[in-house]
Structure 1
Amino acid sequence: MVTVLVLTGGGIAAVLFVRRVRPDLYWMIIGGPAAHIRVTWSYASVMDACGLSVPPSRARILLARAMRREMPANRPPKLLRVRQTRTGLVARIRLQPGQDAYDVITAADRLRHSWRLHHVAVREIRSGVLELSMTGYDVLNRVHLPARAERSPLRVPVAVRGDGSVHYRDFRRVPHSLTVGATESGKSVYQRGLIKELASQRVALVGVDCKGVELAPLARRFTALATDPDTAADLLDALVAEMGERFQLIRAAQRISADTPDAQITSDIWGLPDKTRPVPIVVIVDEVAELLLVSAASQKKRRERIITALIRLGQLARAAGIYLEVCGQRFGSELGDGVTMLRAQLTGRVCHRVNDEASAKMAFGDIAPDALAAVLAIAPEQRGVAIAADSTGGWSRIRTANVTLRTAVAACNRHADLTPDVPALSDFRPDLPPLPDDATGVPVPATA
């Protein structure tokens, strides 16, 4: 008897330990199958309790009266299928006549409580068919990017979403982006993770770091780096000139004649042959406020040069293969004229914890007002948690994997030989000592 109790207690302790340390493993073995049975078994009663069922049709009522049978029960949405995933369940349902997708969306929190799940999200697949993505545990508690996450040119994984899927930064689809966050919110970790993933790709990294401490340790992988506003103004002007040269190259390939195949007609660099296509450029601006704030009247001309160049790049540079990644604690009209015009060009938005509601409105007020409450709910201890949205109005909760500075530096040093040479930016190439053979990824100061 004692042996049985010891073995039973040890088994329960082992299960509880696995549930805490490896929730994904626990979910796949125990939690997922149990939740699958719970959802399918109680589906009809839960839908009825949540007000998501409709009265039977008039024909069924008349048939029951004619045959003197019990009146049929209310009908819930039809459950088409349920499948288990690595982080939860995915159910597909078909709405009954008279129901609307909004009814299920508003009841998502009640469904979460009824089925004892962590999160339930609803999206419309097609007219009358919805997909319920149910998360079984808090996937944002301990974030690890899957080793098999898809990677392609200018599309890299940077975070994990609340439903367990990978959040990608896709520069081809969303060319320009704004990242906002207060001090110690995880904004710098997000930025380091992005640079670490881009380091192994054929892309030119251009940095503007007026603090001189965020991007400088990663300088071996940067084609150009500016660490003060004056140098940044010259660097952005050089990028505008490079953009003009690339437009000339595209126009030269647009000599359209009647026998030119449609596939050879292009309006951006991606339609050019591989031999003549210039390398894409990702411009990373750290702490944009330090770049745009002025303390004397003599600095206003420099600020006008900077904001004009950024606006031109935001409006035109996508076709030239130049992409903007702007980061800062705040990004509003108090930074001066032209800031709101630049913000309108930044399609992607990522907002970490902020100190006030106005900062959240600066990020999402113009594209996804529904995300404001989610941003303000991020607690100070939730470093790396953010809300990601774009101009479509959709948004999702994400968390960045913890990328240390040493890890990012080691990746940049390892791929330093991939740093492309852009002649127009050669004057801004970081001046660095040779990398020793036994380099351990220790940050090395850089000068622009």
Structure 2
Amino acid sequence: MNYYPGPVVTRYEYEPAPGIRLSKISSLADDIALRMRSNAIRIIAPLPNKGLVGFEIPNKNRKTVYLRALVERDEFFNLESPLAFALGVDTAGNPVYADLSNMPHLLIAGSTGSGKSVCINTIITSIIFRNKPEQVRFVLIDPKRIELSLYEGIPHLLLPVVKDRKLAVEVLKKAVKWMDYRYKLFAKETARDIFSYNEKMVKSGGEPIPYLVIIIDEFADLIITTGREIEEPLARLAQMARAVGIHLIVATQRPSVDVITGMIKANFPVRIAFKVPSRVDSKTILDDGGAEKLLGRGDMLFIPPGTSEKVRIHGPLITEEETKKISRTLTRHYLIKIVKSYFYLEPQKAVEIVEELMDENLYLPFIRVDEPGLNELEEKTTEFLCEYLELEPQAVKEKMNEIRNNYYRKIPEMTEIPLSETEEEVGFEEGEWDPMLEEAARAVILEGKASATLLQRRLKLGFARAARVIDQLEQLGIIGPQEGTKPRKVLIKLEDLEKIFRKERD
């Protein structure tokens, strides 16, 4: 009847003669593949709303679809939703854009090398292209510690990239509390959703709240190690978070039933399947076969919101080098503002310092020091800044510590419900020193004052444990006694700390 050439496949449409059964046509897929000298023929029987059968046959010369070509189009910039993104092109080569706020959550699955990580990068890049950090913020959870680390430092993040599995669970639990907090805010303003709440805030001169996109890469690793502990907060967010502007994107390369459980599938009706090894895996994601016939490298089946029909789309390519350039450019501009503000510098000098820090890869200690090798990097950064700004090491470390604690701008929910590493308190025998005591001592000396709240914020401790550490610091003579509501005074210098703990160890 007709054919539609696209960048990756060509779709042929065929009207079967009366009396020909569709099952007979579908069973000929392998014979047609043999005749066409292809290994990935996909038969759509029937084509939705057409009364025809479709044959999708791979092109001999495959064309690459680039993200740049999609985001430079007028349609992309004319999209109203802040969470709209470029998904790719259809089989005829027409651009396809999707809106996360309509989904409202997205499940992505596919084997290694199928284009899953590139898809996540295109979604993040599309959204940050069109939004300021005040409009959209991201929480990135990356147990693999590689894929999403490229975005470390961009102002659109809400907190450093979460790489620890236990912390990932706590972040999701806190996100549930942030969701509840937003519902209370909305009830107070009689707003039905984030759009009407922000509209009221703009009219009344208040501060609008940003959309929050939580992205989990390699969900299989989390659910195998944490089980129901992560599934429960995830399900709650999936069921209720849409109205308050919190959206989830969950990706996995292991689409088995123990990972994509019934609870997950029920709450993620919009799904993307990249190439998978078998029909069983395809049925787990899509409730139907087809994903095993895909070509890989960005070839996907997409179930749009409000329908169960699968749409074949070819995802756009954004290279790792391009992602790094975008991330470093955003980080550079943001870090220049921060360094200028905290060190009271002239604009040109701030630019020079940040350029040097970025070139030498010494900027990460401004963001986090909780990873192997970053403490040594912090020493190099301190040495560089001492020489460049002619400041004492102690003064530089204090400033860096202050920047680190305030690098990502907090949203109101985080002020009301701070993020803590664990909600469980660790039990100790009477007279036993807390394992975090030495680190706590360093933190209060660098800060120049001590309080339980400070330790909660710096070391991610619960309140009861932080209060116990404060008592132990007083017992060792590191800090003074309580003076009403004032923070306690620090009584020793950093160089005396090692002597105290050496004596205690002996």
| Shorter-normalised TM range | 0.5 to 0.7
Give the 3-state SS of the residue equivalent to 1:206 in structure 2: strand
1:210 correspondence with 2:134: no
Distance across 2 between alignment mates of 1:207 and 1:269: 21
Which amino acid counterpart does residue 188 of structure 1 have in structure 2?
S
Cross-structure match for 1:383? 297
Partner Cα separation in structure 2 for residue 441 and residue 361 of structure 1:
48
Q: Which has the higher helix share?
A: 2
Distance 1:333 1:378, change over 3 A: closer
Report SS of the residue matched to 2:102. coil
Tell me how far 1:173 sits from its aligned partner: 1.3
Q: 1:430 maps to what in 2?
A: none
Give the alignment's TM-score, normalised by structure 2. 0.52
SS at 2:158 equivalent: strand
CA distance in 1 between counterparts of 2:57 and 2:291 reads 20
- 1:402-440 deviations in whole A, cap 9, x for unaligned? 211121122223334689xxxxxxxxxxxxxx9536958
- After TM superposition, the structure 1 = structure 2 runs for residues 172-251 of structure 1, keeping only pairs within 5 Å, are 172-200=101-129, 201=131, 202-221=135-154, 222-224=157-159, 225-251=161-187
Identity across matched positions, percent: 23
Distance 2:170 2:189 in 1: 29
Shift of 1:85: 11
Residue 353 of structure 1 is matched in structure 2 by: 275
Cα separation, 2, equivalents of 1:234 and 1:435: 33
For the residue of structure 1 that corresponds to 2:153, the secondary structure is helix
Measured after TM superposition, the shift of residue 272 of structure 1 is 1.5
Amino acid at match of 1:343: K
1:135–1:293 CA distance, 2 compared to 1 (3 A):
closer
Matches within 5 A, 1:3-402: 141-145=63-67, 146-147=69-70, 148-149=72-73, 150-151=75-76, 152=79, 153-200=82-129, 201=131, 202-221=135-154, 222-224=157-159, 225-254=161-190, 266-274=191-199, 275=202, 276-294=207-225, 303-335=227-259, 339-365=261-287, 369=288, 372=289, 374-379=290-295, 382-390=296-304, 392-402=307-317
User: What displacement does 1:142 show?
Assistant: 2.2
Which residue identity lines up with residue 244 of structure 2 in the other structure? A
Bigger relative contact order, structure 1 or 2 (CA pairs below 8 A, ≥6 apart): 1
Segment of structure 1 superposing worse, 145-154 or 188-197: 145-154
Compute the displacement of 1:290 (Å): 1.1
CA displacement 1:81-121 (0-9 Å, x = unmatched): x9x9998999xxxxxxx9xxx9xx99xx9xxxxxxxx9999
Q: Distance in 2 between matches of 1:292 and 1:279?
A: 28
Q: Is the 8 A contact 1:180 1:352 kept in 2?
A: yes
Q: Aligned residue for 1:409? A: 324
| Corresponding residue SS for 2:103 | coil
Letter in 1 for 2:315: T
CA 1:443/1:232 → structure 2, altered by over 3 Å: closer, same or farther? farther
Task: Describe the SS at the equivalent of 2:312.
Answer: strand
Q: What one-letter code is carried by the residue in structure 2 that aligns with 1:307?
A: E
Q: 1:289-338: CA deviations, max 9, x gaps? A: 111113xxxxx5xx433211101110001011011100001244324xx9
Distance 1:226 1:375, change over 3 A: same
Q: Is the 8 A contact 1:155 1:170 kept in 2?
A: yes
Secondary structure of 2:104 counterpart: coil
Q: Distance in 2 between matches of 1:171 and 1:344?
A: 17
Q: What residue ranges of structure 2 are gaps of 5+ in the alignment?
A: 12-17, 30-40, 336-352, 371-506
Contact 1:410 1:440 in 2 (8 A): no
Q: CA deviation at 1:358?
A: 2.1
- Tell me: CA distance 1:340–1:436, structure 2 relative to 1, closer, same or farther (3 Å): farther
Query: For 1:415, what is the secondary structure of its paired residue?
Result: helix
Residues 251-300 of structure 1: CA deviation (Å, up to 9, x unaligned):
1122xxxxxxxxxxx42111123434310011110000111113xxxxx5
Deviation at 1:144, TM superposition (A): 2.9
Return the TM-score normalized by structure 1.
0.58
Partner of 2:495: none
Secondary structure of 1:226's aligned partner = coil
Using the alignment, how far apart are the partners of 2:117 and 2:360 within structure 1?
18
| 1:282 alignment partner AA | V
> In structure 2, what is the Cα distance between the partners aligned to 1:120 and 1:320?
41
- Report the residue type matching 2:299 in the other structure: V
Q: By how many angstroms is 1:444 displaced?
A: 8.0
Corresponding residue for residue 429 of structure 1: none
Q: Deviations over 1:362-391 (max 9, x none)?
A: 1101xxx2xx2x311124xx3111111135
* Paired residues of 2:66 and 2:318 also in contact (CA < 8 A): no
Whether the 8 Å contact between 2:137 and 2:158 is mirrored in structure 1 is yes
Which residue identity lines up with residue 279 of structure 1 in the other structure? P
Conserved? CA contact 1:281–1:323, under 8 Å: yes
Deviation at 1:154, TM superposition (A): 0.8
Q: Deviations over 1:15-64 (max 9, x none)?
A: xxxxxxxxxxxxxxxxxxxxxxxxxxxx8xxxxxxxxxxxxxxxxxxxxx
Residue in 2 that maps onto 1:436: 355
Letter in 1 for 2:320: L
Q: Mark the runs of 5 or more structure 1 residues left unpaired by the alignment.
A: 1-42, 44-81, 91-97, 110-117, 255-265, 295-299, 420-433
Q: What CA distance in whole angstroms lies between the structure 1 residues aligned with 2:272 and 2:360? A: 28
Hey, what's the Cα distance between the residues in 2 that align with 1:440 and 1:162? 42
